Amino acid sequence: MARVHNFCAGPAALPLAVLERARDEMLDWQGNGMSSMEMSHRSKEIVAMAANAELNLRKLMNISDDYAVLFLQGGATGQFSAIPLNLAAGGKADYVNTGQWSKKAISEAKKYLNVNVVASSEAQNFTTIPDVSDWKCDPQASYLHYTPNETIGGVEFHSTPDIGNVPLVADMSSTILSRPVDVSKFGVIYAGAQKNIGPAGLVLVIVRKDLLGKASAQTPTFIDWKAQADADSMLNTPPTYTIYLAGLVFEWIMQQGGLDAMATVNQRKATKLYDYIDASGFYANPVSKHTRSWMNVPFTVADPSLEKVFCAEAKEAGLVNLEGHRSVGGMRASIYNAVGEDAVDALIAFMKDFAAKNG
């Protein structure tokens, strides 16, 4: 069977070159006579593999030695608890509410500290981002948390908010590695792997070292960032095969020309799709133009009864996982790094044909 164009929001498409290399190395990795997933995480080979993955990530994102890089489990959702426990348990923190993932982070943080929601776009159905000048920030907050890209609503910050000296914490699950980012502006960056990094099962945490060692006494050791940093992310058995695959993805991005090259392609893909939607007269995107996501493009048709027909016919044409999130409906194309421009072109061609038949 031919490979399909996969527009899933996550777990998402992986680069074909990475999958082919993983296939070729599956049974015998580096002459060891076994797969990397069968080897001890304490072996010198796996320790070196994880160290090389970290080194390449540092190169890609220009991460200085002022930051620890952790390869952990539990996904971004696990970090919703880890963040307040590591930074401010019993204290207070600022949160920006721009979508469903922001809401989940806020709900979890409220178990551990006083949450000040500095701004929210919920009244606008999360179709825009509140202007930073209107945020009601607390200069005494332990940190400010925001979600640069909301996968469900398809809204995205296109610049890093300037909040002064309060540490900035960002859930970059769906935008990391899609373009350059100035890591020095952040206290913490975290990201689930299953969009632009690799398969599900891994979460990256990039944390400024001066923020380590602040965890409350009740913090489980497993999610204590300092404990994990001291153990090189191997406090317990880490997801070794997922780290291996993430390392292959890092190498693939470097081969494409790094994050500047990824940004050029990603912006071109998104612009092409939005331009077609806007000009079609058949499809619509609900998001304010200045906050549209490069990674997740939701769209609707005037007649909701056509949504299931669209997705069914798209699947027959080899375009899969275009259903919108159950909370918002419609359709959604997630066009992460591994979704090639050819996939976007094929989607637009299908959309044109579908509109001609049903318009």
Residues acting as catalytic residues: 101, 171, 195
Q: CA–CA separation, 233 vs 182, rounded Å? A: 24
Helix (H, G, I), strand (E, B) or coil at 203: strand
CB distance 336 to 13 below 8 Å: yes
Task: Please state, in angstroms and as integers, the Cα–Cα distance from residue 128 to each residue in 119, 233, 290, following that order.
Answer: 12, 37, 8
Encoded amino acid at 240, one letter: T
Question: Token digits for 86?
Answer: 């590591």
Helix ranges (DSSP H) in the chain: 16-25, 44-61, 75-87, 100-109, 225-230, 240-256, 258-280, 306-316, 341-358
CB distance 157 to 149 below 8 Å: yes
Q: CA–CA separation, 197 vs 358, rounded Å? A: 38
CA dihedral 200, 326, 333, 303 (to 10 degrees): 170
**H or E stretch at 120:** strand 114-120
Question: Token digits for 354?
Answer: 């579908």
Q: CA–CA separation, 169 vs 188, rounded Å? A: 5
Residue 305 CB partners (closer than 8 Å, separation 6+): none
Residue 307 CB partners (closer than 8 Å, separation 6+): 300, 301, 323, 324, 329, 330, 331
